[in-house]
Amino acid sequence: MTVYLDSVRALLSSNSEDDYKDALIGQMRVWSKPFSEYFTDSIHPVIHNLGAWLLRPLGRQEITGNQSESFNCVLKRLQDWKEAPVDTMVLSLYRLAMYNRAEIQRGKHGVGEYRLRSGTYI
């Protein structure tokens, strides 16, 4: 599982979408067929919302703050399990993603802790 998490992190940290696509081809040669299919069906179609290359034009190198620390904590706990049930892992990641999406939507509407700058992609 650590290999998959590290490779997905590396893909999401790519400098551009083209770099991501080039790296993805290499990763898919290493990944198992089921994981490659999962990634292709679930993550790749929404990569335009996930890549670090989208943050750089906004003056950010990475996402920081309490939410990311919580996200990292959950990922580390999943990694510490000897065998993490896929359904538990997927549900945990889904709920984290939904929480962060809700925070962004709250910022978009001027409530909550965050304020989005004009011209953002959301």
What are 27-36's pLDDT values in tens digits?
999 999 999 9
Range of the domain at 83: 63-122
What is the model's pTM? 0.49
CA angle 50, 30, 77 (to 5 degrees): 55
Q: Could you report the per-residue pLDDT of 34-58, keeping only the tens digit for each?
A: 999 999 998 888 887 778 887 667 6
Q: How far apart are CA 116 and CA 122, in angstroms?
A: 9
Instruction: Answer yes or no: are the C-beta atoms of 71 and 97 closer than 8 Å.
Output: no
Domain count, the chain: 2
Q: Are residues 73 and 29 in the same domain?
A: no
Instruction: Answer yes or no: are the C-beta atoms of 9 and 79 closer than 8 Å.
Output: no
**Domain termination site, one of 28, 44, 60:** 60
Q: Are residues 44 and 72 in the same domain?
A: no
3 three-state secondary structure: helix
Q: Are residues 69 and 37 in the same domain?
A: no
